[in-house]
Structure 1
Amino acid sequence: MIAARDLRKSFTSREGEVVEAVKGIDIDVRRGEAFGFLGPNGAGKSSTMRMIAAVSPVSGGELRILGMDPAEHGPAIRSRLGVCPQEDTLDNELNVFDNLYIYGRYFGIAKREVRERADELLEFVQLTEKRTAKVEDLSGGMKRRLTIARSLINRPDILLLDEPTTGLDPQARHVLWDRLFRLKQQGVTLVITTHYMDEAEQLCDRLVVMDRGVIAAEGSPLDLIREYSTREVAELRFPVGDHDATAEKIADLGERVEVLPDRILVYSDDGEQVLEQVHERGLRPVATLVRRSTLEDVFLRLTGRTLVD
């Protein structure tokens, strides 16, 4: 569905400096899978998504979307894509149904057919009862579901989702996850960017972690956790100021020990055993927690904990 080889994207800053946002990446997205892009701000995710959406020209390398070159077949590609942007761009002056109807007409879909599709999609995203409601009267979760419904009006082969659940409460996020899972079951290929690691674990069959314009790692969430982390993590909290000295005393208890301002993380395949060994050495943490390793542990190991502007 999507194939990229040595894909690059450069642009010129206001100061006249050439900035390389994407520095030669290879991507293969298969039909019917959910493929994710993870990375900190400035990693190149958005630049890559804009090229895949056929709205930003490729600076170098090769990109094929649905077997077509976006430089030559941009309109044909865009007619088969659905795009759910990070920010809702719904028309507040129209009601819920008309937001879908008018958007569908932009694709040249016949009036009768677009009405049928709009009704089907409202039922799919559980907004049938809000058919005549104004957009401004919808909750945040309802607006996101309407935005996804609108992106599906042309029955796309590929759905691009940029931070689909940002700002939603847990209940709304889970409803949206369910809708996206159903789409994948129907054969729609999903391409997702997200900052929520649990979302990536739930939705993505495969993903890439991008950092500074390159791919730092690629694989399924489970494979990445196995490769870059351990089965469990023991979190130990000691009095403020004791962490560095304490970490030296327990450095051999795990495959990796990470010192944070408020706690020590010990990466091991048996967190409970780590806690026992810590107490056997006469150390008394203020608080302890044993949890399974997550994609967030992988993400932070690959991209670091420093904020990127």
Structure 2
Amino acid sequence: MASIEVTELRKAYAGRTVVDGVSFTVERGEIFGILGTNGAGKTTTVECLQGLRTPDSGTVSVLGLDPARDAAELRRRVGTQLQDARLPEKLRVREALELFATFYPHPADIEDLLRRLGLEEHRDAGFGTLSGGLKQRLSIALALVGDPEIAILDELTTGLDPHARRDTWKLVEGVRDAGVTVVLVTHFMDEAQRLCDRVAILDAGCVVATGSPAELLATTDKSTLDDAFVTLTGRD
């Protein structure tokens, strides 16, 4: 059963089209990647999923809800880790989780989240003292504190060192194993290969390919991927 269905989604700003006829489905319980370079339309697409942007045309269904019409209900069922999220420097880890938990009618157990995300020893640390990897752990915890059915993770590992990236990947796999559907926005091909069951590759606001990472690498025309996503594959 599909958790998310997007059909012919379009969005423009000041006459410039940034999402142009995007269509895809996300099945319940999978990690679905939205892959593309900066400016490909990834963030605008997920903002439409969250009800933060209203599409110009097309349809979006998330857990059977219309994000534009049912935003309040959707916020209770979908957790989000936003790109470049910031918290007050002195806000402690546990305080942040307790604050976010008040936004939901049936929040997750905070002690369990601290344990699962490896934050127990850092519960009293201020946000400003955390390393990049620990900040991302906290971001994931905040996305899960509402006990969501879907978690949207946007550019989760940008700026992290290789060790922190691998640790974060394990956490994402643990989120999926706990029964949460994950939408992962990334511009790293290796990340998509490691984590995603299926991906949609965006270029200039359009979906140019969908499928499992293995299928795309095996069947998609090489020149199409190279021309549109040279930075994704690490080639110049």
Equivalent positions of 1:147-162 (< 5 A) are 147-162=139-154
What RMSD in Å do the two structures reach over aligned CA positions?
1.8
Q: Is residue 3 from structure 1 mapped to residue 1 from structure 2 by the alignment?
A: no
* 1:45 paired residue number: 42
* 2:226 paired residue number: 300
Q: Percent identity?
A: 37
Match of 1:104 among 88, 101, 104: 101
Match of 1:129 among 112, 116, 121: 121
What CA distance in whole angstroms lies between the structure 1 residues aligned with 2:117 and 2:89?
Answer: 19
Q: Which amino acid aligns with 2:77?
A: R
What CA distance in whole angstroms lies between the structure 2 residues aligned with 1:144 and 1:217?
Answer: 29
Aligned residue for 2:70, secondary structure, equals: helix
Shift, 1:7, TM fit? 1.0
* 2:234 paired residue number: none
Conserved 8 A contact 2:33-2:192: yes
List gaps (5 residues or longer) in structure 2.
232-236
Shift, 1:147, TM fit? 1.0
Query: Residue deviations 1:187-241, cap 9 Å, x none?
Result: 11111111221111001110011111111111100000111368xxxxxxxxxxx
Flag the structure with larger Rg: 1
Aligned residue for 1:72, secondary structure, equals: coil
List gaps (5 residues or longer) in structure 1.
13-17, 231-255, 257-297
Conserved 8 A contact 1:90-1:135: yes
Shift, 1:302, TM fit? 4.0
Query: Residue deviations 1:37-66, cap 9 Å, x none?
Result: 111222111110100111111110111111
Match of 1:144 among 136, 144, 150: 136
Compare relative contact order (CA 8 Å, sep 6+) and give the higher one, 1 or 2.
Answer: 2
What CA distance in whole angstroms lies between the structure 2 residues aligned with 1:155 and 1:68?
Answer: 18
Shift, 1:97, TM fit? 0.4
Q: Is residue 202 from structure 1 mapped to residue 194 from structure 2 by the alignment?
A: yes
Normalising to structure 1: TM-score of the pair? Answer: 0.70
* 1:283 paired residue number: none
Shift, 1:117, TM fit? 1.5
Shift, 1:19, TM fit? 1.2
